[in-house]
Amino acid sequence: MSGDLYAEPGIINKVYCEPDGKESIVNIYVSAESLRVYDNPWVEGMSPNTPRPAEPQHPVIRENLGKRNHVRADSRFLGVVCLLLLAGIIYLGVQMNKDKNKWRTERNQLLEDIANLKKTSDQLTANNTELIKERDGFLRMLCAKDSSLRSQKNLDCPIVPDKRKEL
C-alpha cells in the first residue's frame, strides 16, 4: 500500500503471467480524465452485471526482467570490485608504513655509524700527526749526532738549527 502512495502519478503497474510462466510488470499510462477512484466499485448506478466502459488504449511499455537481473549482477560485481580495491589500498598503506619505519631505523643506524667513523678518523689523524712529529724529532737527533751516518744512509735530514749560532 505504501508503494502505491509514492508511485508516479498517471502510471499503474500491473503484473501479468504469460503462458510460458514468466511474470512481467506492465506500466499502463492513464490519463487524468479516465482515472476515477472508488471505495465501492458499484457506485453511480454501476452494478456488477452492467458492462464496464472500455479501457482507453494507451501505449504500453514492458520492462524486461532479464535486463533488470543484469543490472543487479553488474552492480554487485562493481561493489565487490570496489571492496577489493579498498582492501588493496589499505594493504599498500600498511606496507608503506612498515617500510617507512624500517628505512627510518636503517637511516638512524647509518648516521650513527658515520658519526663513529668520523670520531675514529679524527683519532687516527691526531695519532698520525703525533707520530710524524716524533719521527721528525728522531731524525733531527740522528742527523745532529752523526753526520757520517747521514751521508751513508742517504737520509733526508731536516734542517736542524745550530744551537751555537742562537747563543
Kindly state whether residue 82 falls inside one of the protein's structural domains: no
- CA 48 vs. chain centroid, Å, equals 70
Q: Does the pLDDT value for residue 47 go beyond 80?
A: no
Kindly state whether residue 132 falls inside one of the protein's structural domains: no
Q: Which residue segment(s) compose the domain that 58 sits in?
A: 2-63
Kindly state whether residue 7 falls inside one of the protein's structural domains: yes
Kindly state whether residue 25 falls inside one of the protein's structural domains: yes
Q: What is the pLDDT of residue 166?
A: 45
Q: Does the pLDDT value for residue 25 go beyond 60?
A: no
Instruction: Give yes or no for a contact between 143 and 158, defined as CB atoms under 8 angstroms apart.
Output: yes
Selection from 5-19, 46-60, 67-81, 126-140 with the highest mean pLDDT: 126-140
Instruction: Give yes or no for a contact between 138 and 155, defined as CB atoms under 8 angstroms apart.
Output: no
Kindly state whether residue 138 falls inside one of the protein's structural domains: no
| Cell of residue 150, nine digits | 747521514
**Mean pLDDT value of segment 58-76:** 71
Instruction: Give yes or no for a contact between 140 and 157, defined as CB atoms under 8 angstroms apart.
Output: yes
Number of domains in the chain: 1
Q: What is the pLDDT of residue 145?
A: 77
* Predicted structure pTM score: 0.39
| Res. 164 pLDDT band, cuts 50 70 90 | very low
Q: Does the pLDDT value for residue 162 go beyond 80?
A: no
